[in-house]
Amino acid sequence: MDNKAYRAELPGEHARSERAGLARRTRIRQSAGPGADPGEAMRLFVAIAPPPAVLDELDALAAPLRTARQDLRWTSREAWHVTLAFLGHVNSSAAARLLPRLERAAQRHRRFRLAFSGAGAFPAQARANVLWSGLSGDRGALARLAQSVAAGASRAGAPPPDQGRRFQPHLTLARCRLPADVTEVVAALAGYQGQPWTADRIHLVRSQLGATQPPRYATLASWPLRAPERPADPAAPGSG
């Protein structure tokens, strides 16, 4: 299998923005075959990268909240994404099998519209570990895409560790060193309705954790979703 077939556009590359997240790419080494060393395990997830203008809008909204709540560990704007499936540690052999599975998953789904909307916290606002922004729009299409991604990962031998849990789409804004009360922050974001955007591709991303630094993300591969169907031309022969 030639990896080049799976090296599509980078997140944000079409927007020509230096602030686009998930923008660095590396290669997945191929296994030499049965019995070969499965290789180094990589911490992987599959995600959608919103357009830079959409993230800029959300970033501006969050700026005064960061100043007011410096006790929270706010995530980096450049790394913001919507996770479809967290895969955990995957060896390079399984990662190579994952590539065609994810390509097929992307090909089965059409592009759809989303928008960031409101906020919430895991597990609860009064004792939060994670503060997030929610999503509105075609959440059904988003859930179906996430399900296809998780199923493809399972068939490749890289099942998501949280498979079977209810999919809760979100963008992580901040994490808490200790459980924190973020009720006022959630209330400040409750009425937010961001500009609509099109989810048009999925990305396989490697996450490298540092002892004192934020996670570093490297995009391994990207695949476009199918274009929407064009409405039939009423003037075309045989229509009507």
pLDDT tens column, 83-132: 999 999 999 999 999 999 999 999 999 999 999 999 999 999 999 999 99
Tell me the domain boundaries of the chain.
3-14+22-28+41-209
pLDDT in tens, 173-221: 999 989 999 999 999 999 999 999 999 999 999 999 877 777 899 999 9
Instruction: Check residue 136 and give its pLDDT.
Output: 98
Kindly state which CATH superfamily the domain 3-14+22-28+41-209 is placed in.
Cyclic phosphodiesterase (3.90.1140.10)
Q: How many C-beta atoms lie closer than 10 Å to residue 161's C-beta?
A: 12
- Residue 110 gets which letter from DSSP? B
- Coil vs helix vs strand at 60: helix
Q: Residue 135's pLDDT is what?
A: 98
Q: Is the pTM of this model over 0.85?
A: no
Average pLDDT for residues 44-58, to the nearest whole number?
98
Segment of 3-12, 121-130, 154-163 carrying the highest mean pLDDT? 121-130
Q: What is the pLDDT of residue 38?
A: 58
How would you label 204-240 residue by residue, b for 16+ Cβ within 10 Å and e otherwise?
Answer: bbbbeeeeeeeeebbbbbbbebeeeeeeeeeeeeeee
